[in-house]
Every structure is written in C-alpha cells, then in structure tokens.
Structure 1
Amino acid sequence: MKRTWRFLRVLREDLQAARDGDPAAHSNAEVALGYPGVHAVWGYRVAHRMWREPALRLPARLLSQAVRAATGVEIHPGAQLGRRLFIDHGMGVVIGETAVVGDDVVLFHGATLGGRSMRQGKRHPTLGDRVVVGSGAKILGPVWIGDGAQIGANAVVVKDVPAGAVAVGVPAVVREVHRTAEARGAVDGPLVVGAPAGTTAWTDRAEDASLLVDPAIWI
C-alpha cells in the first residue's frame, strides 16, 4: 500500500511540474489528458519498474516502444529519471539507456540525450538538478551537465557543462551566468555595477541580452 501511495504521489508531482513549467496549462485534468510529455514520463515510470526485473525486460522494452508510438517520445526503460521531469511539447525527445536525469529538469521538443559509442557501459549523459535543455539540443556521450545549467536550442554538447552555465552553439561553447536567485528555467536580469547585491537593470538592451541566454524561449 505504501508503494502505491508513493507512486501516486510521484504522478501528482509530474502533473504539478507540467503546470509549473507551462503557463498554458490550466488544470491537472488538462495536463493528465492532453500532454504527451507527461504521458511519456508516466509510461517510462511503469516500464522502468518492469525493467528492474530481469524476466520483464522484454515487456518493458515493448511498452516503451508503444509509448514512443503514442507520444513521439522515446525513453529507454533503463534510463534513470528524477522527480518532476517536464518534457514540453514532447515530440522527438530521445533519452538513452544509461542516461541519468536529476530532479526538476525541463526538456523541450527534439532534445536528445544520446551516445557517441557503441560499447557497453555508461555512454549517455548525466544531468544534474534544474537543468533546462532547449529544443533540438543534442547532449552526446557520458558527459556531466551541472545543476542549474542551460543548454541552448540546437546546441550539440560533447563536453561537460559546469553548474549554472549556459552552453550554446555547434559544438557547444560554455559560459558562466551569474544569478541573484534560483529560478527554474529562468535567467535573472544583468547586475548593476556598483549597485547593492541583487539589483538588476532592466533596459531594453539588457532584456534582449537576457533572452539570448534563455533556452526556454528558443522553441
């Protein structure tokens, strides 16, 4: 019974994560019935539980393929996904077998957590908590993406990305972003030189510059 309640709590968290991450979501019912990214995560959670039993690995793989056909999102049941993962739009997302994803991560459509090697063992990325991966981005190989990092749309990441950094381009170039507060998928305004800590200056130019480093808008 405790396991069932724990599972239901995780499902409720997935609903809330979608509502927190998408301003177009107006109710839990809307998310539960109409969000393929959420359906894909739920299908994964069932398949992953099956995958842990050696005798159920083939059914788990078949279930993951059925979910892929229904949602356009392919998540290998062997991947390790954290809590409150939100896959926005969903279509084209691929998460490989040895990928590890932390808590409160956002993946936009077309994102790939893929490999660069055909060898056995760890060959897919590890994402920390609160990572945002823009649409069409490719993170390839057993690289580490630090907590709070942001990967820009269509970036191709083949090297580690430190916590709190932004990676953009092909191949991705990493740069640091200084933040005054922690916000999921958000970038604070530029700091005012010589002003008290936490002060931001929102000029038109500053706002335009901040948007350039926010992968969430590159959809």
Structure 2
Amino acid sequence: MAGHGPTGRPAILDRFSRTHYSLTPKPLFPACLRPGGGGRLRGEAGVTITRWPMVFKRLKEDVDTIMHRDPAAHSVWEVLLCYPGLHAVLVHRLSHPLWARGWRTFARFLSHVAKVFTGVEIHPGARLGRRLFIDHGTGVVIGETAEIGDDVTLYQGVTLGGTSLLPGKRHPTVGHGVIIGAGAHVLGPHTVGDGARIGANAVVLSDVPAGATMVGIPARLAGRARPAERDAFCSYGTPEGIPDPVAGTLASLMDEVRRLNARLVALEIRGLPENERLGAEIVPVPTRKTEQAPLAPVTVPRDVAGRKG
C-alpha cells in the first residue's frame, strides 16, 4: 500500500514511533506493549512488591527510633499520623528502588508529592540508612547523591546540598550516629565522620572528623567526643558547655587590648617624652608655623558715618 509502512500504518507514524523509541532513555512501556513484552513489566513490578516486607520492617524501626529519641512522642499512632519526617522517609523507601530501576519520572513524582505534604525534600536517588530520624522536618533538603548512614538525626532546615554543576558525586556523605542541628548546611561532596555533631545554623564546607562538634559559619571545630560518648544522644547537635570559638577569639582580642592599655599607662606614668611613649617607630612630624599679617584698619568715610547717626 502506497505511503504505508510495513506495519500497515502511514509511514510518517512509523518514522515518528522509531524516533520516539530511540530518544526514550528507558523504553519500558513500549517494550511491554510488544508481543511477549509483558514479562518485563511483571518482573519490574515483582521486584517492587517483594520489597514491601522490608519496607514494613524499616517502618517499625523508624517508629521505635522516634519513640526512643523524642520525649514528645507518646504513642505509636501519634508517630504514624503526626510526624512528617517519618512520612517523607517512608515515601523515599518506596521511590528509591523505582529510581534505581529506571522509573525516574515516577520516582521524582512520588518525592514531589511527599515534599508538598511534608515539607521535606528527599531526592529519590539519595541513599538513606536505617533508623533515620527527621525531627519536625520542615525545610529539610537531601540531594541526589547524598548518602546517610544508620542512626542519624536531622532537625528542621537541614540541607545536604551540592556545590557542583557536573554530574557525579556532588552531595555529602554522612556517617553513622551523626546529629545535625536545625538550620545547618553541609555543602559539597564532603564526609561527616561517625558520631559527629553539627551545631544549629552551622555551614560545613569541608570534611568533619569522627566524633567532632562543629559550630559557626564556616563551621569550626569546637570539641571532640570520646568514642564512649559518641552513642549518647545530643539534642540539636550542641552539647552543654561547649566553647564558642567566636567568643573565644573576641575574648583574646580584648585581653590583648587591655594588656596594651596597661603598658601605655605605665609608660606615661614614668614621664617619658612623647616620642618614646608610643615606641621608636612613631616619630612626631615637625609642623611649620605661619605668621599671619595683621589686618589693615577699615576706614569709614565721614559722610557715611554721619548718616548712621
């Protein structure tokens, strides 16, 4: 038949189908619609269905973790119904295998729905460990190549972000037992060691040693926990009595100012000349005095003076 392809359809439709099929990165559904192609769909769905028991097991661990770490949690039903961080993690446990199998648009759609309802954005490509606790949840962002270990706690406003536009590893790797306080940001493909603490509103731009406590912008080392103390829970990642590195620097500067002031007073009491009080490098600059000529007297005409009277 003229103008028709081998399938009996118009040739332009066959050409469009071949072009669409070649441009599709994962042509799952076209393959399933071919004769005998339904087995692939059943196989992909079977992989997802067989993960359900594992999903429920992880859900039980997550609920137990929240009950253990949050004194405001009073019942399992309260945790299941009222903790958006738990809901976001649950959706991620469903979307991540879909992302790994190539169903990336659908996986992104699931994560988007979770973000709308929970305020937590977890990319389906991120790798999350067991017993992850996202407290409060609002504003948490976890990027595509981020990796999170077991027993990690994240508070509201935490960002695990990337700093590169190139493909590949762009987001942080968080070790086991890490606590990241509210509003903290870990940016770039850096590693946060096991048991580390990131204080509230800190900005981490480099690797963090295991057991370290980081505070400030950019984050500075404020202390280290002994291995026996790393398993102890620390609310908001800021232990009590931790020194403030910024306050310590300001205190050192004030001590130096007081020391120099005392030295200056001591030199003045000794009655040294002015050019020796402030040090030999300070030499007074001689000034040249200029004499001003006296102003000439102003003569007022008599007729003008008489008019004034």
* Same-fold status (TM-score > 0.5): yes
Percent identical pairs in the alignment equals: 52
Q: Does 1:16 align with 2:64?
A: yes
Q: Give the Cα separation in 1 of the matches to 2:134 and 2:225.
A: 26
Residue 116 (structure 1) aligns with: 163
CA–CA distance in 2 between the matches of 1:212 and 1:161?
Answer: 18
CA 1:211–1:158: 2 relative to 1, 3 Å: closer
**CA apart distance, 1:211:** 9.5
More helix by share: 2
Q: What does residue 131 of structure 1 align with?
A: 178
Q: Name 1:183's counterpart in structure 2.
A: 231
Distance 1:20 1:105 in 2: 13
Cα pair 1:130 1:184 within 8 Å, conserved? no
1:66 pairs with 113, 124, 131, which one? 113
Deviation at 1:2, TM superposition (A): 6.8
Q: Give the aligned CA root-mean-square deviation in angstroms.
A: 2.0
**Which letter maps to 1:49?**
P
AA at the equivalent of 1:164? G
Tell me the TM-score normalised to structure 1 length: 0.83
Q: Which protein, 1 or 2, shows the higher relative CO under an 8 Å CA cutoff with sep ≥ 6?
A: 1
Report Cα offsets for 1:76-126 as digits up to 9, x if no partner: 000000000000000000000000000000000000000111110000000
Question: Which of the numbers 144, 150, 158 marks the counterpart of 1:97?
Answer: 144
Instruction: Mark the runs of 5 or more structure 1 residues left unpaired by the alignment.
Output: 188-206, 214-219
Q: State the secondary structure of the residue aligned to 2:168.
A: coil
3-state DSSP class of the match of 1:80? coil
- Seen in structure 2, the aligned counterparts of structure 1 residues 211 and 11 have a Cα distance that, compared at 3 Å, is farther
Give the deviation of 1:139 after TM superposition: 0.2
Task: Classify 1:57/1:13 alpha carbon distance in 2 versus 1 (closer, same or farther; 3 Å).
Answer: same
Q: 1 or 2, which has the higher strand percentage?
A: 1
Asked if 1 retains the 8 angstrom alpha-carbon contact of 2:223 and 2:242, the reply is no
Is the contact between residue 131 and residue 185 of structure 1 (CA under 8 Å) also seen in structure 2?
A: no
Cα distance change on mapping 1:144 and 1:36 into 2, 3 Å? same
Q: Does 1:28 align with 2:76?
A: yes
TM-score, with structure 2 as normaliser: 0.59
Going from structure 1 to structure 2, the CA distance change for 1:93 and 1:169 (only over 3 Å counts) comes to same
CA–CA separation in structure 1 for the residues paired with 2:225 and 2:70 = 25
Judging changes above 3 Å, is the alpha-carbon distance between structure 1 residues 184 and 69 closer, same or farther for their aligned structure 2 residues?
farther
| Corresponding position: 1:155 with 2:187 | no
The secondary structure found in structure 1 opposite 2:92 is helix
Does the CA contact (< 8 Å) of 2:127 and 2:145 recur in 1?
A: yes
**Structure 1 counterpart SS, 2:241:** helix
